[in-house]
Amino acid sequence: MQLSKISAFSVISKSGVEYYKNSNENLSNIAKTLNVNYILEGKIQRVNNRIKINTNLIQVSGNKNIWAESYERDLSDIFELQSDIAQAIAISLSTKLTEEEKFLLEKKPTQSFTAYEYYMKGRNYYYKYNVEDNLKAIQEFKNAIEVDRNFALAWAGLGDAFSQNYGRFKMERIWIDSAKASSQRAISLDSNLSEAYKALATAHYYNGEYEDNFNLLQKAVELNPNNSQAVGNLATSYFIRGELDEAIQRQKKAAGLNPKNYIPFQIVGWTYRLLKDYENAIQWLNKSLEIQPESDTYEQLGLSYLGMADTLAAKSLVPELLGLLKGISDEKGLPLATQQGTAAKIYESAGIISFFCEDFDSSMEYFQSFIKYNEAAGRDPLSSAPIYLGYLHLLQGNNMDAEVLLEGANYINMGEIKQNTDDPDHFFKMAMIYAIYDDKEKCMEYLIAAKNMKWVDIQMAESNPVFYHLIDYQPWKEFKAEIEQKILLMKNKELSLK
């Protein structure tokens, strides 16, 4: 953690190297995977309130030992020890530290080692990205704060975990208010803490406040260019702003800082899909699935196969995707109470893949399961499932069911728009609703509004059965051509940066 505060170093995140703990793998292979020139090895022994560390820095080329040292200290001196090791490594690599870097290295995050242990346990749970471990993370962060009310990192961790409850695990939106309050508390305690700005940015992101998200992430990366989460999230911000060439370059850097995290690989693949570079999209998305299977990744992979007109490959993903339910269900095959939000997201992704494959019977089944397991289904502004389901009900002549779903989606998305959302997806969802109602003019009005907010996901419209009847509509043709020209320019720019 301390080394990442030295701007001259590019440091792989703790979660990125955790995989190699107690590993017997050859150092050169590890270095190649992580794309690093140096590896810091260490052995730690803890006896009662004493800690002993033997550490050495290895230059991978030539397997040369650059620096080695042994330390024995009281646990209460752990932060001074971390600072000493970081500064010794900087000296061994002839790196001159700025006064600000020296200050940051010597600054204690907390006066309590016990609070720090709780925090580190919380982070370990948090990075597993599942609901049960996220709840454990919340408890550990709370334990840390109970020991030290002024522990800014713990408040930032709490903000992160609260945001995930809503954004990732489909709990009620009120969690965002708690996330903002915790993150703001962290900033008030330490205005130079990168993790605090990143946590507050995440809350704004899930609340559709993308401009605030972008500005906060810029601050987080400025404070710590090695904060892999902030680097990756800032890349996602560029993605949302429609600056896809910039997003890919920054997200690849995030993948380099944390090569065992599935998210940067997922977002790079997602971005390539938007650029209609489906071969690269498939490659990066498959890599993401190798690291950790996740519903959004399957969804993006399915859409990428459809972009290549490979419907069979897209359909074949659905059983794999639904297989994720097995790990979160009871002996009767029903999702555990704490996992229902995760199950809902799996069903939504399965429904979207099936819908775009025009397997309408299966997609209806999956969307209905999404409604069943999403406790906020009628109030969830992040979901498009009710719109697709409304369309399917209309196809079957279930006009009343369709009206309830579509009018509900209209109310939710218009509510976001009236609150001046930064999220263009709400305008796109309104365009979907009016396309279903066969109101071409209103549909185009909202598509243009989405485009003006940097929306570029033209595949979600041109390959979407909801929009098929617009194919010969001249305003649609002009709109599509304009988006595709913008995508081509970004694709060419991205290629030139390679």
Question: What is the average per-residue pLDDT within 142-160?
Answer: 98
CATH class entry, domain 112-224: mainly alpha
Q: Is the pLDDT of residue 15 over 70?
A: no
Q: What is the DSSP string of 104-131?
A: HHH--S-S-HHHHHHHHHHHHHHTT-SH
Per-residue pLDDT reduced to its tens digit, 63-113: 788 888 888 888 888 888 888 888 888 888 888 888 887 877 788 899 999
pTM (2 decimals)?
A: 0.83
pLDDT number for residue 498: 65
Q: Is residue 53's pLDDT more than 60?
A: yes
Residue 465 has phi, psi (to 5 degrees) of -50, -25
Tell me which of 3.60.40.10, 3.40.50.10070, 2.40.37.10, 3.40.190.10 is the CATH number of domain 1-108.
Answer: 3.40.50.10070
Report pLDDT for 80: 85
Least confident stretch, 36-50, 224-238, 244-258, 324-338: 36-50
Q: Using the predicted structure, report yes or no on whether residue 480 has a pLDDT greater than 90.
A: yes
> Does 394 or 15 have the greater pLDDT score?
394
Token couple for 340 = 């229902």
* Region 318-343 average pLDDT: 94
* Distance in angstroms (rounded) separating the CA atoms of residues 491 and 488: 5
* Higher-confidence position of 403 and 15: 403
Where in the chain do CATH 3.40.50.10070 domains reside? 1-108
Say which DSSP state 192 is in. T
Rounded-to-5 percentages of helix, strand, coil across the chain: 70, 5, 25
Lowest mean pLDDT among 48-62, 164-178, 279-293: 48-62
User: What is the mean pLDDT of the segment spanning 368-381?
Assistant: 89
Residue 22 pLDDT > 80, yes or no? Answer: no
- 43 pLDDT above the threshold of 90: no
Helix (H) or strand (E) segment spanning residue 51: strand 50-59
Percent of the chain's residues with pLDDT above 90: 71
State the span(s) of the chain assigned CATH 1.25.40.10: 112-224
CA atoms within 13 A on the CB side of 277: 22
Largest CA distance in the chain: 76
Query: What rounded mean pLDDT belongs to the chain?
Result: 92
**pLDDT level of residue 1 (50, 70, 90 thresholds):** low
